[in-house]
Structure 1
């Protein structure tokens, strides 16, 4: 795709730093650089070897004033990130140097790049597909090593290759269908139907396997929204401190010490958690504590994971039973704390009240059970269907939606084949599946969706 204008932006984060980078991309990149750059020997950038860093100065061509001492290089397309001619100016970091150089470049014929426009050009010029472009931002925003590894694999094309393989199977199916429709008088229908049944089930399984990774992938990308709940003085703040390995929350023996929510981010076995220590959920006349309890209930309803804490040394209360009732439809772990004290709670009773929830006995005073808590969180995220070491995960909600539509279409196709409906009907379902999967790579995605995706990028990327 031919793009005739030249764009520029600051490629480094704002603020004081050792180095600032201003990037130029487009057919006028070298001409603009020649206008504003002089080497220490008075040469222009076009007189220097390509891809070699050159020392010199950015100079205002109208006044001859030196703007900054820089290192600069030029790379000719298509061997660049955008597949266009690219110039990068490495100047002193800080707000003033990069701003002055950017303003000079804009006055020399470039326009300010829109958010994500460098990556958008890489996509439009065929260097990367849309899934790889989205992986760029996932790399930048990765919260854990695991999330970074998954994003790096997607940038390398792992998801695109997998989806591309499924789309090729669908193209083969469409070819068989076309032959059968065009030569319906020939005796090929039975062979084609048997082939289509086999391939449709194979495609359905491939798509379903990718979808099974979506929940874990979303968590790696956005974090697991986790809320610690329980009655006052059960050990919620102590658990938060133990997981953080620091004293972040105030811990006392006085019930109701935590009157507001405390939010922290942490990494448990490569899984990013946004963990919230809530005020105890109980009836109270204290106005401030009452506000905290209401906030606790609000976070409870929005949570991806609930960690419900019980005190094994005290009998179950009305508050405990109320929370247990709310937990029935939530993903939750039950932590029974203070096992170092005499037991006054029957664990069998808890199991009967809360079905299908993992119960873990811990002692925060003696630091027992924390490893089991971390293991349980890992198991809940990966659900036994995905191994923690797997790096091909669907991390993007847009990709998940496309896969869900593709799965729906191929299942309708399987149903049409089994009902021996005309091949024209099957063709529609197979083509819909192919197009839905094409949205992931950008082959069949609408232009407005492309624009929306890149608007969420950083300026300069």
Structure 2
């Protein structure tokens, strides 16, 4: 995809759907001049739009085409105008605020198009901010992380990345390596002179410091190398423990209508494959997975395949629920799961469910009466939040992790090779390894970036961002 940064672009920047307010964003060198052709101030403005020199808020109306017969409609609102480079894109920019009607906003964008302002590509506003040096590539991905955040923890991590929490040490690393390379190459230029621009000890210590930064960043990104998907909640337990009934009850109460009911039968082993449904817990979309009952002893054929599949689902779960029939519960039992659910609690009555010393942290539930389902949903949501909070403290969005792991590995390998060459290799080879590391770090922050990488990063954005 080619990007013409000299075009003036526009797009709807507010959320999809109706609302009290909608926003159309404009950016480009001719922003004020082109807007002056269709936006009419309702108040006395000392200067025409193209001659305003400081950020301004101007009330007025946009003249848009109402029908195909050439008639026009005045759309009331106000214009926020940034005439200079103190904007997100470092270009003259504006936002037209009006009623949040999707057809109305589309008509505004169409009218702007008739006056020479083209529709922006996905992520093009953020791309311009990147191209202007306002943000680097990891910060741009942080913007996408803010948009896609599914909870406070993800939002905090993305905001930290936008603020430079990930890229700041990498920019400092590049500066340090550039200085190191300059000193090393100065020595190469004066190799016949008895001048030492940098000592071997200094080389070792500075390369060790660089390796420490790369290793820390690898750990940081590794902790966030998670699927950008809904958390998976996996039900497990013995055959006929009530897993499938609980699955269906949760799907009925919290489901989105997408998924298949699990087979319920009084005969153990009715579920042979895993079944997936989607539920929403306090606004967080999750995948709920029912698996075949865990059976002891050697299994053959279909039964063996079912056990292997169930094992895979349990190992890849974000939250594991083990279902134990209430009548089989022993509070001293050691359970390898985040949450223990005591199914069929209606068989023991309300007194059992309300006795903490008996349940010992397990959650009694009845798929028949629905008792305990809300408490279980809250516990699952808390467990996901706790887990996500532990991951989010490392401050990098998943898209950055996926893109940067290869570059970090190359940077680490180059620094390791350089450390070996300090004692027993030529300075020309040492300088080459440092350049390879600089290239790899430059790929991460966007100092060196191919068009296909930009397409992948900014193509994930919605139009208007």
**TM-score above 0.5:** yes
Mapping of residues 29-68 of structure 1, within 5 Å: 29-41=31-43, 45=49, 50-60=54-64, 65-68=72-75
* Secondary structure at the counterpart of residue 72 of structure 1: strand
**Which residue does 1:398 correspond to in 2?**
403
* Secondary structure at the counterpart of residue 158 of structure 1: coil
* Secondary structure at the counterpart of residue 66 of structure 1: strand
1:135-178 C-alpha deviation (Å, 9 max, x unpaired): 11111001111111111011111111021122223223313321
Asked if the contact 2:10–2:119 (Cα under 8 Å) also holds between the matched residues in 1, the reply is yes
C-alpha separation between the residues in 2 aligned to 1:362 and 1:87? 54
Q: In the alignment, is residue 362 of structure 1 matched against residue 317 of structure 2?
A: no
C-alpha separation between the residues in 2 aligned to 1:207 and 1:55? 51
**Which residue does 1:456 correspond to in 2?**
460
Asked if the contact 1:263–1:277 (Cα under 8 Å) also holds between the matched residues in 2, the reply is yes
**Which residue does 1:216 correspond to in 2?**
223
Question: How many Å apart are 1:234 and its aligned residue?
Answer: 3.6
Question: How many Å apart are 1:105 and its aligned residue?
Answer: 0.8
Mapping of residues 50-449 of structure 1, within 5 Å: 50-60=54-64, 65-185=72-192, 192-219=199-226, 221-225=228-232, 227-228=234-235, 232-237=239-244, 248=255, 254=266, 255=268, 256=270, 261-264=275-278, 274-278=286-290, 280-281=291-292, 310=294, 318=299, 319=303, 323=307, 327=311, 330=315, 337-338=323-324, 340-342=326-328, 358=336, 362-365=340-343, 368-369=361-362, 390-393=393-396, 395=398, 396=400, 397-418=402-423, 420-449=424-453
Asked if the contact 2:183–2:198 (Cα under 8 Å) also holds between the matched residues in 1, the reply is no
**Which residue does 2:350 correspond to in 1?**
none
C-alpha separation between the residues in 2 aligned to 1:191 and 1:47? 55
Question: How many Å apart are 1:267 and its aligned residue?
Answer: 7.3
C-alpha separation between the residues in 2 aligned to 1:264 and 1:8? 36
Asked if the contact 1:213–1:394 (Cα under 8 Å) also holds between the matched residues in 2, the reply is no
Greater mean alpha carbon deviation, residues 50-59 or residues 370-379: 370-379
* Secondary structure at the counterpart of residue 77 of structure 1: coil
1:365-391 C-alpha deviation (Å, 9 max, x unpaired): 456347999998789879xxxx55724
Question: How many Å apart are 1:222 and its aligned residue?
Answer: 4.4
* Secondary structure at the counterpart of residue 218 of structure 1: coil
Question: How many Å apart are 1:10 and its aligned residue?
Answer: 1.6
C-alpha separation between the residues in 2 aligned to 1:102 and 1:399? 36
Question: How many Å apart are 1:84 and its aligned residue?
Answer: 1.0
**Which residue does 1:295 correspond to in 2?**
none
Greater mean alpha carbon deviation, residues 121-130 or residues 190-199: 190-199
Question: How many Å apart are 1:117 and its aligned residue?
Answer: 1.0
**Number of equivalent positions:** 414
* Secondary structure at the counterpart of residue 219 of structure 1: coil
C-alpha separation between the residues in 1 aligned to 2:106 and 2:339? 58
C-alpha separation between the residues in 1 aligned to 2:167 and 2:315? 33
**Unpaired runs of 5+ in structure 2?**
256-260, 344-352, 354-358, 364-375
Question: How many Å apart are 1:273 and its aligned residue?
Answer: 7.7
- In structure 2, relative to structure 1, the CA distance for the partners of 1:380 and 1:111 (3 Å cut) is closer
C-alpha separation between the residues in 2 aligned to 1:379 and 1:95? 38
C-alpha separation between the residues in 2 aligned to 1:98 and 1:373? 40
Question: How many Å apart are 1:70 and its aligned residue?
Answer: 1.7
Asked if the contact 2:54–2:84 (Cα under 8 Å) also holds between the matched residues in 1, the reply is no
* Secondary structure at the counterpart of residue 166 of structure 2: helix
Question: How many Å apart are 1:456 and its aligned residue?
Answer: 2.0
C-alpha separation between the residues in 2 aligned to 1:92 and 1:325? 52
* Secondary structure at the counterpart of residue 225 of structure 2: helix
- In structure 2, relative to structure 1, the CA distance for the partners of 1:138 and 1:182 (3 Å cut) is same
1:316-359 C-alpha deviation (Å, 9 max, x unpaired): 67358973698599557876542854479x989x9xxxxxxx56
Asked if the contact 2:87–2:93 (Cα under 8 Å) also holds between the matched residues in 1, the reply is yes
Asked if the contact 1:114–1:459 (Cα under 8 Å) also holds between the matched residues in 2, the reply is yes
Asked if the contact 2:158–2:395 (Cα under 8 Å) also holds between the matched residues in 1, the reply is no
**Which residue does 1:294 correspond to in 2?**
none
TM-score (norm. length: structure 2): 0.74
C-alpha separation between the residues in 1 aligned to 2:321 and 2:83? 60
